[in-house]
Structures are given as structure tokens and as C-alpha cells.
Chain A
Amino acid sequence: MDFIARKRNGSRIVTQIVVILLAILFLVPFYFLVGNSFKGYGEILSNSASFPGAFNGDNYTQAWHATNFSYVFMNSLVITVVSNVLLALLCAMCAYKMVRNDNLFNRVLFVAFVAAMVIPFQAIMIPLVQVISGIGLMNTRIGLIVAYLGFGAPLTVFLLHGFVKSVPVDIEEAATVDGSSPNGIFFRVVLPLMQPIIVTVIILNTLWIWNDYLMPSLILHDPQLRTIPIATYMFFGEYTKQWDLALPALVMGITPIVIFFLAMQKYIIEGIAQGSVKG
């Protein structure tokens, strides 16, 4: 017994060491990125593996101004937050009525949502540009948000729909007896119950919308409207291989979403495990 226990302990220590080494390997790219972002151009080229000799913040100031980062960050933030709030709210309302009103239209719509989850963005992007300019929303944040509401609806409704089905009708009937209006029931009784799945939906949509490059690049052309991914892409086009400016721009670009992850870590990891069950 003692021998087995010791062997078990030994294997645990080996596993522990292996997994820590792997974790360090996973983090090495960030070391290269952040470390070199403080170096001068010559220092980056001569040895990118070394620890920076001096922390030079000038790169950051220059990159901040060249990418117009405060603008770009606000654009990404506004687009992500507004799209998320509207997607979660409108899709929750939609999913709720679709479950409770089992009529032909709602059934057809549900099948359409499920089928549309299969459509890759590339299959609709060419005409989407036409449609958006046709309704006069080209080059506006509203146009992009509306596109997110449409393209994000299938998966969002699908996840919420599955959850609403598990909410017992009895609770709503009790609230009706107590004199609640249909709107009151939804907003004061059902919506609060949906909180866990809404957190999941918001996390999945945030990771998608915040990081999305293709859709914004097709709809927003005005430099004033650039999001972080578009600004990064444009910046690389202008400053090819100028790593002393490109690396600080990349560090600035990833910082907000990494902070978001570290702050919401628990919810993100739970939310993904939940969302994938239906995925």
C-alpha cells in the first residue's frame, strides 16, 4: 500500500511539472510580444529573446496616436455593448414567445433559425453589403449593429429557446392570478430566471463581436469608425515590419479583452461549458 501511495505521489509530481512547463510554453508568445514592445527597433532585430534593457514607453505613445487608439477602443466598445444588449434582450423576448405561442409561424421561424446556423458568413457577405447600402446604413455603426442582430439571432435564439422550455409555466400562471400583465410576467418573472443562459449568450457574443474583423471591414470604411481589429489591420498595412510600433499596437489591442477575461473568468469558463452542451 505504502509503495503504491508513493508511486501515485511521484506520478502526480511529474504531471504537475509537465503541466507547468506546458503552461509556460503557452505563455512564451506573450513574453515575446510584451517584452519586445518596449524595445527599440535595432534591439528587436538583434535579439528578440532577451529581456528588454530599458522600458521605453515612447513606442506606446507613438502607436497610441498613430492608431488613434482612444477612438478605436470606444468604437469597439460601443458596437460590442449595444449589439450584445439588443441581441440578448430581443432574442430573449423572441425565444420566450416562440416557446409559449406554439403557432405555425413560430414553428417555421424556429426551423429557419436552426437551418440558418449552418450558413457561413462568407455565403451571405457579398449581398449583405448590397442590402445594407440599399437601406442607407452603409458606413454607420447602426448598420453594423443591425447586421450583428440578424446574423447573431439564430444561435442566440436557439440557446435561449432551449432554456425557456425548462422554465415551468406554473410560475407564470401564478403571476397571472396575482394580476401581472403579460409584459410584467416576462420582464419581472421570466427574464430574471433566464439569467444564467443570458450570461452564456453574452459571453459567446462578446468574444465573437469584439474580435470580428470581416463584417466590420465590409460595412465601416470611414477611418473614424474603425474598430480595434480594423485599425490593427490598417496599421500593419502602413507600417509593414515596423515591429517597434506594431508590437505596442498589438499589446494595446489585446489588453481590453484579456482584462475582460481575467475579470469574468469564472463566468466565461462556466458559460462555455454550458453553451457547448447545445452547441
Chain B
Amino acid sequence: MNRNKRSHLLQQYLYVGPTALFFLCMVLVPFFLGIYYSFTSWNGISSHVGWNGIQNYVHIFTRDYSFLNAFWFTAKFTVVALILTNLLGFALAYILTRRLFARNTLRAVFFIPHVIGGLLLGFIWQFIFVQGFSSIGELTGWSFFTLPWLGTGTTAFWAIVIVFVWQNAGYLMVIYISAINNVPSSLIEAAKVDGAGRSQLLRKVIVPLIMPAVTVCLFLTISWSFKLFDLNLSLTEGGPFKSTQTVSLNIYEEAFTISRFGLGSAKAMIFFIIVAIISLLQVRATKKKEVEM
């Protein structure tokens, strides 16, 4: 009996131990260290870590306009990107669940941008906005293509939106396709027999039944766009004049370019709290929807 118990314990260590240890060292310890650093004036190098109380937080909320700007930019970007990516993703899914020629190839085409990392995509699109668009502009004469796309704050904002939508709509499409395919065909047939037209079918039957997928997609997009970093770094590097800097990039520069680890950690904690609140809302929204179903 005792031996059995000991082997049981050994199994627990062997199976759960490694993952728990990596998780502890690489996530929990840094996370709690980060909370501590956020109350200090540490610069990352000196052995002296000066206690700073809540000074970092006060500084961020009252004087750090770059952070507040980055925050405002990120929030605006998230809302716009969220709406456009989901609309396009759903539209593609809705179209590509119909019996069309080369359906699977088309799905693959729309998905491909997502497999390429944001950093490389940003560089690719930098070329397209700078060289490609101006060539198209010369050929067609359309002023849309001759705008200084990465040169002003407003156009650079839309440039990032365009690339983000192009990159992620296909991913959402895949989720929406599987949700639409799971709508029982008997329900659709019944609605058709009752005389529902295509738009009624969409609004009254399909959309309500795929709400769980909508929730998943909405929060997936929020999480991607709110944490946007790679694409921002390579496409605009936050410019011109920091007008397109995301919160992630702002934290990164605070910590690793200006070497203010304490201040950077405080920003990271604020960022964490906001992301946590959004995620809690997500869990609540999902739960509520499940009850309704």
C-alpha cells in the first residue's frame, strides 16, 4: 500500500513536474518580479534597486504623454481593426460555404497571409506602400495610391489597419466557416420552407446560431490588435513622430531603448491589468451566451 502510494507520488512529479517548473521559472517568477520592479527606479544594470513607491504610476498617468498617446492609438486601432476584420472574415466565410468553384483553393488563398509572421509582413507592406502604391498611382492616376501612406499619422494608421485585416481575416474566416457548417441543415430547410429569403436566413437563423464563434472571433481580434507589436515595429516603427506607436512598442522602448526598467515594468503592469479586464469580460460574455443556447 505504502509502495503504491509512493509510486503514485513519483508519477505525479514525473508527469506534472517539468511543465510546472518551467511555468514557475519562466512565467510566475518574472511576473511577480515585474510587479516588484514596477515600484522601483531600476535601470536594469546597476546593482542598486531604488524603491520608488507609486511614483512610476503617478508619472505615467500624469506626465507620460507618449504612453497615453500610445494607449489612445491602440484603443482606436483595436476598435477599427476588430470591426473590419470580423466583417470581412464573416463575409468570406458566408460566401465560401456556398457551393462554389475552387472553394478550397480560395479558402487557402485568404488564409495564407496569416501564416507569415507580422515582422516580415510589415517589411513586405512597407515596400508596397512606398514603391508599389506609387507605381500603381502613376499607372492609374488614382490619388488613393499617391498618398504618402507611411508619411502622415492618419494614413499610417489606416496602413496598419489594412495590413492587419489582410493578415487576419482569413483566420477568422476558418472559424466562421466551421461555425456555419455546424448550423443544422434541418433548421435552414425549415426556414426556407417557411419562406425566409436569403437575408432573413442570414439575420434570423445563421447569425444567432453562430454567436459563440462570434464571441471567440471578437476576443481573438481584440487580443491580437491590442497586443500588436511585430507589425507595428516593422511597418512604421511607431512613426511618423510616434503617432502610430502601440502600447507594446511603447513598453518595449521604455525598457530596452531608454533602459528605464522600473518605469517599463509599471507600464507593463497597467497593460496587464487592462488585458486581464478584457479577458474577464470575454469569459463572462461566453458564459452568458452558453446559458442562452
Chain A residues engaging chain B, CB cutoff 8 angstroms:
12, 15-16, 18-20, 22-23, 26-27, 29, 32-33, 36, 44-45, 47-50, 90-91, 93-94, 96-98, 101, 103, 105-106, 109, 112-113, 116-128, 130-131, 135, 146-147, 149-151, 153-154, 157, 182, 186, 207, 210-214, 218, 228-229, 232-233, 236, 243, 246-247, 250, 253-254, 257-258, 260-262, 265, 268-269, 272-273, 276-277, 279
Contact = CB atoms under 8 A, between A and B. Distances in A.
Q: Which 4 A-B pairs have the closest CB atoms?
A: A150-B26, A211-B117, A273-B178, A127-B33
Contact of B123 (A23, A236, A265): A236
B272 A32 contact: no
B27 interface: yes
Contacts of A147: 26
Given A97-B11, A126-B264, A207-B115, A48 B132 contact: yes
Interface residues of B, number: 89
Contact of B26 (A91, A149, A218): A149
Interface string B18-30: 1110111111111
Interface string B91-114: 010011011110000111111111
Nearest to B130: A241
Nearest to B139: A49
A59 to B, nearest CB: 14
Contacts of B95: 15, 18-19
Nearest to B17: A94
Contacts of A254: 116, 120, 124
Interface string B162-175: 00001000010011
Given A96-B15, A122-B251, A182-B11, A212 B117 contact: yes
A229 B117 contact: yes
B119 interface: yes
Given A19-B95, A213-B117, A261-B112, 14 more contacts: A16-B100, A32-B132, A36-B131, A47-B135, A105-B16, A120-B268, A122-B229, A123-B31, A150-B23, A153-B19, A207-B114, A214-B229, A254-B124, A276-B178
